[in-house]
Chains A and B, each alone.
Chain A
């Protein structure tokens, strides 16, 4: 009996064990899956609820950001995605009216840019102006998780936003250099993109000079300054030309203008010099002409260039020649509002009795230069001033002097300055009188100010020969040496 029982028992157990094994694991797995499933459901439901709120939050934050970038931004366009750009994700057009007709500029959205191990930044950048003359705008940080965020904001972003220029853009060494470099890259990307969606026309200034002023002129690209023109329809850029490397004493200007129409584009560069009262028209050069239908542009331009002036401008025949006339006239208006800063324009104030002046005599550097322990002075050129229009009675000479200081003071602090000014010398050769001075340019690292609060050189020059401030400085001494040099040249002529 017991043996039979013994034989029976093991058989009863095994099916039970099997049930336990497989079923049990199934049950365990099932419970885990159930928990996981419930949590996933709950989270998905919550996500549906919160995602729109988060979107709204972000949108509101961005809208606030748009106002920070362009203060008069009232509405923005649809977002336009930018493909394949490491820094930028999209841009929007900012409008100053809700009807979306007055465009202010573009607002660029950057990607979330990581900065080494310090965190990420994401910014909105404003760019306005035109495609070939973009104007840097403000920056708004959408996200800034840098571990040194305060330094980054105070040292780079705030100074840039106060004054968005090339200088503040480049001043990345602020104790937060990596972040600043990253933001600078974003801003530059935005500006490049803005330029590229316009046209990729590049002005060839060298060629323009050749075409307008001919070979061997006094106009050199190295002595020029480019600036953007705003508030005009066609004229976009102004190129100022100066007489020497000090970038003082303007001799003439080139304006570039663009006309775009359905029939084609017409770009030109026109030269202007003289004064506001007597504008001297120089030639013009057509730099781009994609007009397809037959036109009289070439003949018109040739006629104008033979005799540049208002009269030859007036003989327009079709829309395109009318456009050229409009462009040149706009350039003249712009020029009159912003006259040439030539050296001769100051003569009236310096020598009131002068009514004419000679051409400048340019001194060779060796002849005009005097080297000092602390730098040098260099009389670059001079003019003779006459009391009569026939230029027979000379009453004074005006010298253009450049005084350069490059030394180290007694405390080991390096001092540099580069001052360019005009000085009047008149009277007998044996007893020359120094008249008024006019400061043309002054660049210095000298932070000291004179007792009346003016920067040292300005104060010295403005009050010469009467005042000289209590702090006699190295740079003042170099300027004085330049004046003395000019005087001795006067006595020798």
Chain B
């Protein structure tokens, strides 16, 4: 396979993981922070970037652990436990790192950083990568996390405006946000089959 072929395949894969099989609106990972954090654009951007960082790092670390340690030892069934411990430690490490080198970012992220541990997207991506080769795993990680970032920022911009408008009493807040998410999901549906 020529170099350009590999790069094209990678970019197409990233694109398809990012938009066409979008993490939040199609695969349903990361709904909790998606609904919970997206009331302000600023915090959404912060959360999104942190998620990109964590997912890519986690995928990079967990792939060799699964394929070169667990599988050869016949301990494939311990993957969930190992992954979650790795993710939890990674999030702690990333937190310490950010705290040391950018205290302002740490402060603005606040409680959201430890929350990334329970973000289904991180564990979901790493579990999906069990069945993929290295290139596809990285494409999955990059595409999924970028998709999360794009969607959560888009969603928060809509929500900020929604909160200013006068929704019917019972729909205020979460229900109307969910309907908005539904419409976004419908828009994503239209992209199916785009790379085919």
Footprint of B on A, CB under 8 Å?
A: 39-40, 43-44, 47, 112, 114, 116-118, 120, 147-148, 175-178
B17: Cβ under 8 A from any A Cβ:
yes
Residues of B within 8 A of A44 (CB): 75
B151: Cβ under 8 A from any A Cβ:
no
Residues of A within 8 A of B136 (CB): 114, 117
Least CB separation from A176: chain B residue: B196
B21: Cβ under 8 A from any A Cβ:
yes
Name 15 extra pairs, CB < 8 A, besides A117-B13, A117-B21: A43-B81, A114-B131, A114-B132, A114-B136, A116-B12, A116-B13, A116-B16, A117-B17, A118-B16, A118-B21, A147-B26, A148-B193, A175-B193, A175-B196, A176-B196
Given contacts A112-B131, A148-B192, contact A39 B81 (CB under 8 A): yes
Residues of A within 8 A of B133 (CB): 114
Residues of A within 8 A of B78 (CB): 40, 43
Footprint of A on B, CB under 8 Å?
A: 12-13, 16-17, 20-21, 26, 75, 77-78, 81, 131-133, 136, 139-140, 143, 192-193, 195-196
Q: For the complex, give the distance between the alpha carbons of A40 and B79 in Å.
A: 11
Q: For the complex, give the distance between the alpha carbons of A114 and B77 in Å.
A: 21
A-B contacts, 26 of them at CB < 8 A, read A39-B81, A44-B75, A47-B77, A112-B131, A114-B131, A114-B132, A114-B133, A114-B136, A116-B16, A116-B195, A117-B16, A117-B17, A117-B21, A117-B136, A117-B139, A117-B140, A117-B143, A118-B21, A120-B131, A147-B21, A147-B26, A148-B192, A148-B193, A175-B193, A175-B196, A177-B196
Q: For the complex, give the distance between the alpha carbons of A112 and B81 in Å.
A: 24
Q: Chain B's interface: helix, strand, loop or mixed, by majority?
A: helix
Q: From residue B6, how far is it (CB to closest CB) to chain A in Å?
A: 14
Residues of B within 8 A of A118 (CB): 16, 21
Q: Which of A112, A117, A147 has the most CB of B within 10 A?
A: A117
Q: For the complex, give the distance between the alpha carbons of A241 and B20 in Å.
A: 51
Contact A43 B77 (CB under 8 A): yes
Residues of B within 8 A of A112 (CB): 131
Q: Which of B17, B81, B196 contacts A178 (CB 8 A)?
A: B196
Q: From residue A147, how far is it (CB to closest CB) to chain B in Å?
A: 6
Residues of B within 8 A of A117 (CB): 13, 16-17, 20-21, 136, 139-140, 143
Q: For the complex, give the distance between the alpha carbons of A481 and B193 in Å.
A: 46
Residues of A within 8 A of B17 (CB): 117
Residues of B within 8 A of A40 (CB): 78
Q: For the complex, give the distance between the alpha carbons of A117 and B77 in Å.
A: 24
Q: For the complex, give the distance between the alpha carbons of A172 and B195 in Å.
A: 14
Top 7 A-B pairs ranked by shortest CB distance? A117-B17, A117-B16, A117-B21, A177-B196, A47-B77, A116-B16, A114-B132
